[in-house]
Amino acid sequence: MNMIKGGVTAAQGFKAASCEANIKYKNRTDMAMVFSEAPCVSAGTFTSNVVKAACVQWDQKVVASNAPVHAVVINSGIANACTGKEGFDACEATAKAVEAMLNVPYAGVAVASTGVIGMQLPVEKLENGVRMMAGTLSDTIEAGTDASHAIMTTDTVNKEYAVTFEAGGKTVTLGGMSKGSGMIHPNMCTMLGFLTTDLNIEKQLLQEALSAVIKDTFNMITVDGDTSTNDTLLLLANGLAGNEKITKKNEDYAAFYTALDCVCRYLARRMASDGEGATKLFEAKVVNAKTKEDARTLARAIVGSNLSKAAIYGCDANFGRFLCAMGYSGSLFDQNDVELFFESKAGRLEVFDHGVPLDFDEEFAVRIMKESEVTVFVDMHEGNEEAAAWGCDLTYDYVKINADYRS
């Protein structure tokens, strides 16, 4: 597997475009489209929030149907959540605008939105946006990068990644982009993420791979514990790599799975480190847990705790907060089995050993925690399972961003 430059346009046959549609933001791009003339099989995972945005409900229908998918249209600024029938109609109007311009069935057009909840989308501006973008679709790397910028809200950096791998003697490409900075606590999926590949694969296996990979990638990040109404991760495969169609879990499937895990892991970590107001990537690694689910639960609780996150911001090796978070996570364990370390580029330091706090070098602890990526490493000594979770620190800027009017 090789990392290559690019994102959603890296794979053969995928084009992208973006434009200034003035949905809510001014003087910046706020719509993007991903398009494949070759029909795609699709897979998707969506928010578990029962208050689902209109676009999530639309996309669930698109992915559940066997209709080939050709396009995804995304807007940033208004989330189209809590918008009733009018919101659902806006999805349909957007898809129909794509049909009119690009001659593909509107039932194969996915839509996604991010931004403020409880506000209606301006349908004419969306339709204008689709018309502008239909004329400027391009398969260049730059077009993909531009799209990854257009879908940003409070994000401070764009997120895209691409890799190639071998399947059936053919070189296959997988790329993607994602966005997300606040209201990030994915459950069954993540904020907006769009992955494209020229792999030839059966729809059911595509979905199976995506559903498995998110468990250790997008579902292991949190910024603020708030599971969004709009979380959507879509994966489109148009088959243009020409590999023999993957219909079972063979070697080719394994190669694809590894590549998918790699791309999702990169995008997920990048979302966590760009959490609203964040100054650091905060990682928790839990090893030797009783079960995989225990390892995941404990790791997520550590990076999800407001008090842990504030300690990471303050470079305070206040390890009791991490143990406290593990304790209320819902996972059962004995504190007398636990070892806890702080880790970063600057070194590694044990602070708690089998139920007993250690005397440790506070200055060294501060040096470790001042790095831009800080890991809390926990050895449970209760089994063989491990997991990692990613979050960020809790800062003044998080409060500032979210106390500001209608962000």
Three-state SS for 272? helix
d(CA 75, CA 323): 41
d(CA 189, CA 178): 12
Give 16's strand partners: 34, 138
Alpha-carbon dihedral 373, 374, 378, 379, rounded to 10 degrees: 60
CB of 190 to its own copies, least distance (A): 14
Q: Which of 38, 93, 324, 346 binds its own copies (CB under 8 A)?
A: 324
CB of 111 to its own copies, least distance (A): 18
Asked if 117 is part of the footprint of its own copies (rule: CB under 8 A), the reply reads yes
Asked if 221 is part of the footprint of its own copies (rule: CB under 8 A), the reply reads no
If binding means CB under 8 A, how many residues of this protein chain bind its own copies? 67
Do residues 240 and 198 touch, judged by C-beta distance below 8 A?
Answer: yes
d(CA 189, CA 45): 5
Asked if 27 is part of the footprint of its own copies (rule: CB under 8 A), the reply reads no
Decide whether 168 or 314 has the Cβ nearer to its own copies.
314
Decide whether 160 or 231 has the Cβ nearer to its own copies.
231
Asked if 123 is part of the footprint of its own copies (rule: CB under 8 A), the reply reads no
Stretch near its own copies under the rule CB under 8 A, chosen from 38-46, 124-132, 281-289, 302-310: 302-310
- CA torsion sign, 388 to 394 to 400 to 405? positive
Asked if 188 is part of the footprint of its own copies (rule: CB under 8 A), the reply reads no
Q: Is 145 one of the catalytic residues?
A: no
d(CA 371, CA 344): 7
Asked if 242 is part of the footprint of its own copies (rule: CB under 8 A), the reply reads no
Decide whether 154 or 173 has the Cβ nearer to its own copies.
154
Task: List the interface residues with its own copies, window 38-77 (CB under 8 A).
Answer: 47-52
Contact pattern from residue 249 through residue 288 relative to its own copies, giving x for each residue in contact according to CB under 8 A and a dash for the rest: ----------------------------------------
> What phi and psi, each to the nearest 5 degrees, are found at residue 340?
-135, 135
Stretch near its own copies under the rule CB under 8 A, chosen from 80-88, 145-153, 234-242, 379-387: 80-88
Task: List the interface residues with its own copies, window 333-392 (CB under 8 A).
Answer: 333, 335-336, 351-352, 355-357
**Active-site residue identified among 9, 164, 190, 217:** 190
Decide whether 169 or 328 has the Cβ nearer to its own copies.
328
Decide whether 6 or 87 has the Cβ nearer to its own copies.
87
Q: Which of 12, 75, 83, 344 binds its own copies (CB under 8 A)?
A: 83
Asked if 84 is part of the footprint of its own copies (rule: CB under 8 A), the reply reads yes
Asked if 185 is part of the footprint of its own copies (rule: CB under 8 A), the reply reads yes
Asked if 227 is part of the footprint of its own copies (rule: CB under 8 A), the reply reads yes
What are the strands, taking DSSP E only, across 47-158? 69-78, 109-116
Cβ neighbourhood burial of 330 (10 Å; 0-12, 13-18, 19+): exposed
Asked if 311 is part of the footprint of its own copies (rule: CB under 8 A), the reply reads yes
What are the strands, taking DSSP E only, across 279-336? 281-289
d(CA 96, CA 13): 22
Other Cβ atoms closer than 10 A to 403: 8
d(CA 137, CA 277): 34
Of 284, 175, 280, the residue nearest 234 (C-alpha)? 175
d(CA 83, CA 117): 8
Asked if 323 is part of the footprint of its own copies (rule: CB under 8 A), the reply reads yes
Asked if 303 is part of the footprint of its own copies (rule: CB under 8 A), the reply reads no
Decide whether 161 or 377 has the Cβ nearer to its own copies.
377
> What phi and psi, each to the nearest 5 degrees, are found at residue 134?
-60, -30
Decide whether 244 or 334 has the Cβ nearer to its own copies.
334
Strand order in the sheet with 339-344: 356-357, 347-353, 339-344, 373-379, 281-289, 385-392
* Active centre residues (catalytic): 190
| Binding residues vs its own copies (CB under 8 A) | 47-52, 79, 81-84, 86, 116-120, 182-183, 185, 187, 224-229, 305-307, 310-311, 313-314, 316, 318-321, 323-328, 331-333, 335-336, 351-352, 355-357, 394-396, 398-400, 402-407
